[in-house]
């Protein structure tokens, strides 16, 4: 179970796969209730949100006309001192103008990335714009961000699993784990 070689190891399960799946179903039900009879472009931020988003959209019934899209971003410079300025590595394939958009993110830490993306998306003149975030870490928040659909609030621990990685590892785990330095 312990993966070696990247300086960190898995420590404890913070959210089990079962707990995550139940919450994802609740979020999907909220989205279904709000968007019934309408089209919405659910847009995931790669790669971290890919697993969360694929579970989420499969729990929204056919009464919502869901379209899927993705963006990929990378931070400028040193990520531990994030300025929040992000580079769009891959943009949406669809035009957001006049469309309903839900942006799906894995985790909000300082909030800078989500704040940047919100400004970028709202400048495109969508019909509506909402955010859906699996995890929020309020302890390190630097800017207030509106999260319309939130999975869980967690303490200030670096987490991996269920799409989240450290140095590219552990995204495939069904549970969310805290990691600690390997000694
Ligand atoms: P923010 O701009 O809110 O500080 O940073 C958000 C990004 O930082 C997330 O999209 C994610 O890539 C990364 N991040 C922040 N905290 C964690 C964490 O605990 N685990 C992982 N895997 N990534 C994190």
CA distance 11 to 182: 10
Task: Give the pLDDT of residue 76.
Answer: 67
Which listed residue (55, 106, 109, 175) is catalytic? 109
109 is catalytic: yes
Domain ranges, ordered by start, for the chain: 38-167
Q: At 47, list the tokens.
A: 């790669």
Tens digits of residue pLDDT in 38-77: 999 999 999 999 999 999 999 999 999 999 999 999 876 5
Beta bridge partners of 41: 67, 101
CA of 113 to the centre of ligand 1 (A): 9
The residue ranking higher by pLDDT, 27 or 79, is: 27
Any atom of ligand 1 within 6 Å of the Cβ of 75? no
Q: Residue 84: is its pLDDT beyond 80?
A: no
Q: Residues 178, 170: contact at Cβ < 8 Å?
A: no
Band of pLDDT at residue 15, cut at 50, 70 and 90: very high
Q: Which residues contact 110 (CB under 8 A, 6 or more apart)?
A: 82, 84, 140, 141, 142, 143
Tell me the CATH class for 38-167.
alpha beta
Measure the CA angle with vertex 38, ends 114 and 64; round to 5°: 85
Task: Give the pLDDT of residue 82.
Answer: 59
CA of 66 to the centre of ligand 1 (A): 26
CA distance 172 to 124: 33
């Amino acid at each position: 179970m312990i993966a070696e070689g990247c300086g960190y190891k898995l420590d404890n399960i913070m959210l089990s796969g079962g707990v995550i799946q139940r919450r994802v179903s609740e979020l999907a039900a909220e989205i279904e209730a709000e968007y019934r009879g309408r089209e919405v472009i659910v847009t995931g931020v790669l790669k971290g949100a890919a697993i969360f988003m694929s579970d989420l959209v499969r729990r929204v019934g056919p009464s919502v006309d869901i379209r899927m899209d993705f963006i990929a971003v990378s931070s400028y410079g040193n990520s531990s001192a994030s300025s929040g300025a992000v580079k769009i590595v891959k943009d949406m394939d669809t035009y957001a103008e006049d469309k309903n958009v839900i942006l799906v993110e894995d985790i909000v830490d300082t909030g800078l990335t989500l704040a940047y993306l919100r400004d970028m998306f709202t400048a495109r003149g969508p019909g509506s714009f909402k955010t859906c975030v699996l995890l929020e870490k309020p302890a390190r928040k630097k800017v207030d961000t509106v999260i319309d659909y939130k999975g869980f609030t967690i303490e200030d621990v670096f987490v991996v699993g269920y799409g989240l990685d450290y140095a590219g590892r552990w995204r495939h785990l069904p549970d969310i784990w805290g990691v600690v330095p390997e000694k």
